[in-house]
Amino acid sequence: MRIITGIYKGRHFDIPRTFKARPTTDFAKENIFNVLMQYVDFEDAQALDLFSGTGSISLELVSRGCKQVVSVEMDRDHHRFIQECLKKLNTDKCVPIRGDVFRFLKSCKQQYDFIFADPPYALKELPQIPDIIFERQLLTEEGLFVFEHGKDYDFSAHPHFLEHRSYGSVNFTLFTAKERADG
- For residues 170 and 140, give the distance between their C-alpha atoms in angstroms, rounded to a whole number: 26
pLDDT tens for 35-82 read 999 999 999 999 999 999 999 999 999 999 999 999 999 999 999 999
What are the pLDDT digits (tens) for 144-167?
999 999 899 999 999 999 999 999
**What share of the chain has pLDDT > 70, as a percent?**
97
* Distance between CA atoms of residues 133 and 106, nearest Å: 10
pTM: 0.95
pLDDT category of residue 27 using cuts at 50, 70 and 90: confident
Collapsed DSSP state (helix, strand, coil) of residue 133? helix
- If we measure between CA atoms, which residue out of 118, 113, 96, 124 comes closest to residue 173? 118
Contact 74, 99 (CB under 8 A): yes
